[in-house]
Amino acid sequence: MQRRNFIKALLAASALLLVPIRSLAASWNASAFQAIKLQEALAALQISNLSSSSDIQVTGPDKAENGAVVQIEVTSQIPKTESISIFVENNPTALIANFVFSEATLPSIVTRIKMAETSDVLAIIKAGNHYFSSKKRIEVLENGCG
């Protein structure tokens, strides 16, 4: 009898964990991540009126030996940064990642991306109703999206 109660409690707890996962999946912007062109991805995320900013640091190699693994770092010094989106224009899909931050989080990320060919890595920061950008040119010596 105790085993049945334990299994019921375990299934109930599992169901409670699935609710947040489903809500996160519902908020995923599929059209932005599937957009082939940079302008399509920006439109899907409703990004407009970009301002270039020196308060954003995009760090990565000048030359990537293999485009399959390119480590980049993006740090924002812009107050009240809400999100960091990373785009690579010459990739099969332009939007690479979209990170959303709470107020108590340091707006800095380090990640590895795939790059199909030489391109600018564009970081876009959302702070309030404003969008700021910075980019870094990375030369890819071997295609990583093939």
In the chain, where are the structural domains located? 33-140
Domain 33-140 belongs to what architecture?
A: Sandwich (2.60)
Q: What is the pTM of this model?
A: 0.78
**Which of residues 1 and 68 earns the better pLDDT score?**
68
**Which of residues 111 and 18 earns the better pLDDT score?**
111
pLDDT at 53: 94
Query: Is residue 82 within a helix (H) or strand (E), and if so which, with residue range?
Result: strand 81-88
Helix (H, G, I), strand (E, B) or coil at 10: helix
Q: Partners of 132 in the beta sheet?
A: 51, 125
CB 52 within 8 A of CB 134: yes
Q: Give the number of other CB atoms < 10 A from CB of residue 21.
A: 9
Output phi, psi for 128, to 5 deg.
70, -130
Total H helices, total E strands in the chain: 3, 9
The model's pLDDT over 16-66, given as tens digits with 9 standing for 90+, comes to: 565 554 444 445 678 888 888 999 999 999 998 899 999 999 999 999 998
CB 94 within 8 A of CB 35: yes
CA distance 14 to 109: 30
Could you tell me which of 87, 106, 104 has the C-alpha nearest to residue 96?
Answer: 87
Output phi, psi for 69, to 5 deg.
-140, 100
